Amino acid sequence: MSLLVKPGGSKYWRFRFRFGGKQHLMAFGVYPDVSLADARKKREEARKLVAAGIDPREHKRAVKEEQAKEIITFEKVAREWARNQPKMVGRSC
């Protein structure tokens, strides 16, 4: 794990790992938003996934997709509302 410091002063936590015979890079976030302790926890989680034969980048994407499915959007609310409305067949206002 390393801390990449950009010329503008931004700092990014990065983790290099080997998976499937290739070297990969994974970002953990921006310092100080992600503390050293948090970055170390994320590194250990990623190492455990690699040891279990799971690509931590793909795992992170899958978790984000699951979270996105749980988000309540306007479209979901509108469809639910329309489903619960009584049908107005043959009536004029």
DSSP 22-63: EEEEEEEEEETTS-HHHHHHHHHHHHHHHHTT--HHHHHHHH
The alpha carbon of residue 78 and the mean position of all alpha carbons in its chain are separated, in whole angstroms, by 26
- Please, what CATH class does the domain formed by 2-84 belong to? alpha beta
Domain boundaries, the chain: 2-84
**Contact (Cβ atoms closer than 8 angstroms) between residue 29 and residue 39:** yes
Region class of 25: left (phi > 0), else alpha (psi between -120 and 50), else beta: beta
What are the structure tokens assigned to 57, written together? 């980048």
Could you read off the pLDDT of 37-85 as tens digits, one per residue? Answer: 999 999 999 999 999 999 999 999 999 998 888 888 888 888 888 888 8
Per-residue model confidence (pLDDT) at position 90? 60
